Amino acid sequence: MGPIGTAALAAHQIALQVVSILFMVPLGVGMSATIRVGHAVGRNDPAAIKRAGYVAMLLGTLLSAILTLAVIFARFPIVRLFLGDATTNGETGRLAASLLAVGATLFVTDGLQGTAVGALRGLKDTRIPLLVAAISYWLIGFPAAYALAFFTPFGAIGVWIGLSVGTAVNATLLVLRFRWLAIRLARA
């Protein structure tokens, strides 16, 4: 973000702080998914494994969607918390509010991937999710962010679109991985 400009870097930092704070909610749901899925695995209860994983993913996604709406509607007051009233209408303030609006697209998928990885952890599946994250972010998200930031007029917003794409791919692949493992356990 630095080569794009000082205002972009400051706006990015504001949006990143907000996303980091909001991610604590699905992270907590993901941790509970790890425990609930792990207990179901210990009981050898495939139906409970599916139920615990899918309920956690649904809850994480639903809570993230509610937080997404809150951020979309309150993005200007949120920016004021960081910059104060005088600078909210400046370049940094406007860009931070835009990044929060674009970042809202990744809140839901970030909540889903956070809970899905927790459910997979309960299945003792950690290597494949690591590989999926590397592919999603480094092979898809980062190149998309770079291309959109430097080869299109999107600039800083392009970085966040690329991050959103990587997060959506990661969430989708993790949910499919959980589904595949849950079906495989039910057949065993």
* Cα Rg of the chain (Å, integer): 18
Specify the pTM: 0.90
What is the tally of structural domains in the chain?
A: 1
Domain range holding 150?
2-187
What's the mean pLDDT when you consider all of the chain?
A: 92
Burial class of residue 142, CB neighbours in 10 A (0-12, 13-18, 19+): middle
The whole-number average pLDDT for the span 177-181 is 97
What per-residue confidence (pLDDT) applies to 91? 86
Residue type for position 44: N
DSSP string covering 37-100: HHHHHHTT-HHHHHHHHHHHHHHHHHHHHHHHHHHHHHHHHHHHHHH-TTTTTSHHHHHHHHHH
Q: How many CB atoms lie within 10 A of CB 1?
A: 19
Q: Does residue 40 have a pLDDT over 80? A: yes
Distance CA 81, CA 155 (A): 24
Q: Would you place residue 84 in the very low, low, confident or very high pLDDT band (cuts 50, 70, 90)?
A: confident
Q: Does residue 188 have a pLDDT over 80? A: no
